[in-house]
Structure 1
Amino acid sequence: MTIHHETHGHGVPLLLGFPLMASAWPGDPELAVRKGYLDRLTDRYRVLVVDYPNLAPGIGKSDPIPASELTADRVCSDLLAVASAAGFDRFAFWGFSWGGVVGLQLACRTNRLTALVCGGWPPLGGPYGDMLGITRRMAAAPEVPVRTDQFVTFYESVQGWPEADAVERIACPRMTFTGSADEMDYPGEVKLRIAATLRERRRELERLGWRVTEIPGRDHGVFTDPATVVPVVREFLDSAT
């Protein structure tokens, strides 16, 4: 299986995970968002970006993975293999939303991370059950343009994950952030309270050594604004790596 990836810059290894991609994605057809990240990182970091997962036909250059195989174990194994192929022995990982979920899974499965940035997802109190229901409904809706069925497999694989024990064992420097207005409504009266959950668990996370940051007035789309996000996260990464 081919997983397309690219590296940019020189210096400290940093894997910039989903939703940033090596190739264009629907929300960033001109790669402007990706460029905004790279322009602000590559003076100090060797940044690895990956087309993973395959979101839909024609998006990215990686081979598709059968939907039934995209478990958390598979995702972590694939990303570690890509990091090795890029010459990254140890590296920092920065993901947002589903990428933040993946970062937690990676940090609990390997000692290769030098730092972890989990954006747009609370490391404690994560709504894994809600996401399984949401992705199942989206996978059953013919008008949804992305391969949501693979995310059903992923969220099925993390049901029952011992979150509290696993997160407590993460030893690398770690940061979590989100916009202060990060709350999303889905059909079926499901509300994802990302910012509120992070706020509720802030003291507990800080006791465990996490840096917790809210970006005032921003919602889940804050990741598309590298001018705002990168300086906040880079201050942490520069001190951690």
Structure 2
Amino acid sequence: MHEKLRRQSDQETIAVLLPHGEHTLCYDLVGAETGQVVAFTHSLAADLGLWAEQVPALVAAGYRVLRVDLRGHGGSRGPAGPYTIDALADDLIAVADATGIERFHFVGLSIGGAVGQSLGLRHPRRVQSLMLCDTQSQSFPDAATHWGGRIDKLRQTGSVESIADDTMKRWLTPEFQAAHPHRWQQIRSTVACCTVDGYIGCAQALADFSYTDRLDQVAVPVLVACGSEDPRATPEESRRIAALFRDGRYEEFTGARHVPNVEQPEAFNRVLTDWLQQVQ
């Protein structure tokens, strides 16, 4: 049974809760029912609101937009992890099944990009195209220390608030913060309010996955994109990932850090809509 959770008056969308095993998944769906569906998965510690800049442009272009909160993020809830990238991808498929969506274009950022790779490999009949932003194709070599330190800090403090400022420094430039203080604070508050279990479960998923050697099996067109100033998902790494796909392309957002869809929404939306027109 679906349960209505909240209304976002700016886009007149209704967030919905979907029971799924031991989890409850939160999603929203907006746009003409006849439009092609574009599904979004956000980064670690964010929620579906990270795509607020993309919804109006896509709806105006005739698309239907599906946004889903990761486990333990936003309105989604469930038991503690560890989770896996494949399980997070299956969550999106569960929402698509519940809403009667057979095929969709997919856009994922960071861990969302890893989810997209799982979809392309494991659910090829459901995915029409992939746009993978500021992401990785396997766990970083320093995954144990990188994520282990954060996990220890969250367990000690009991709150993601303790790493919110460091997260925002990686995500957005000081120039964006100065020009858009309200949006910057909105995103920071979302990070701080992420559940500890949700963050740790997804961090553990990022610390233990690898799709690199199988990406040439993905048959759908793939666009890999990133901000030129992303400190972890670098342009060099993103170009390498794009080259692993049969039909992989690369796009860069000069001057942006980890969330170019927020920092440079006009440029991002132009790239996204051009991409969708090419692959529809």
Question: What is the correspondence of 1:21-32 to structure 2 with a 5 Å cutoff?
Answer: 21-22=47-48
Per-residue Cα deviation, 1:22-71 (whole angstroms, up to 9, x for no partner): 4xxxxxxxx5x54321111113211001122223xxxx222233223x11
Percent identity among equivalent residues?
24
Indicate yes or no: 2:230 matched with 1:167.
no
Within 2, Cα distance between the matches of 1:101 and 1:155?
A: 8
Contact 1:122-1:176 within 8 A present in 2 as well: no
Of 72, 78, 86, 2:99 maps to 86
Contact 1:72-1:102 within 8 A present in 2 as well: yes
Within 1, Cα distance between the matches of 2:135 and 2:230?
A: 10
CA RMSD of the aligned region, Å? 2.3
Quick one: structure 1 residues 40 and 121, their matched pair in 2 at CA, closer, same or farther if it must change by over 3 Å? same
Indicate yes or no: 2:109 matched with 1:96.
yes
Report the CA distance between 1:228 and its aligned residue. Answer: 2.4
> Under a length normalisation based on structure 1, what TM-score does the superposition of the two structures give?
0.79
Quick one: structure 1 residues 162 and 174, their matched pair in 2 at CA, closer, same or farther if it must change by over 3 Å? closer
Within 2, Cα distance between the matches of 1:220 and 1:5?
A: 23
Per-residue Cα deviation, 1:84-120 (whole angstroms, up to 9, x for no partner): 1121111111001111111111111111100001000
Within 2, Cα distance between the matches of 1:203 and 1:72?
A: 19
What amino acid is the match of 2:97? S
Match of 1:106 in 2: 119
Contact 1:76-1:106 within 8 A present in 2 as well: yes
Of 140, 147, 172, 1:135 maps to 147
Of Structure 1 and Structure 2, the greater helix share is in 2
Indicate yes or no: 2:273 matched with 1:234.
yes
Within 2, Cα distance between the matches of 1:235 and 1:95?
A: 17
Of 235, 258, 262, 1:195 maps to 235
Q: Which runs of 5+ in 1 are unaligned?
A: 23-30, 184-191
Q: Secondary structure at the match of 1:137?
A: helix
Quick one: structure 1 residues 157 and 140, their matched pair in 2 at CA, closer, same or farther if it must change by over 3 Å? same
What amino acid is the match of 2:270? P
Report the CA distance between 1:152 and its aligned residue. Answer: 3.7
Q: Which runs of 5+ in 2 are unaligned?
A: 1-22, 161-193
What amino acid is the match of 1:12? Q
Within 1, Cα distance between the matches of 2:253 and 2:268?
A: 8
- Structure 1 residue ranges, 4+ long, deviating more than 4 angstroms after superposition: none
> Under a length normalisation based on structure 2, what TM-score does the superposition of the two structures give?
0.68
What amino acid is the match of 2:206? Y
Report the CA distance between 1:176 and its aligned residue. Answer: 0.4
Deviates more, 1:172-181 or 1:140-149: 140-149
What amino acid is the match of 1:154? A
Indicate yes or no: 2:115 matched with 1:76.
no
Q: Count residues in correspondence.
A: 212
Q: Secondary structure at the match of 1:41?
A: helix
What amino acid is the match of 1:45? Y
Match of 2:26 in 1: 4
What amino acid is the match of 1:115? S
Report the CA distance between 1:202 and its aligned residue. Answer: 7.0
Of 22, 38, 43, 1:14 maps to 38
Indicate yes or no: 2:48 matched with 1:48.
no
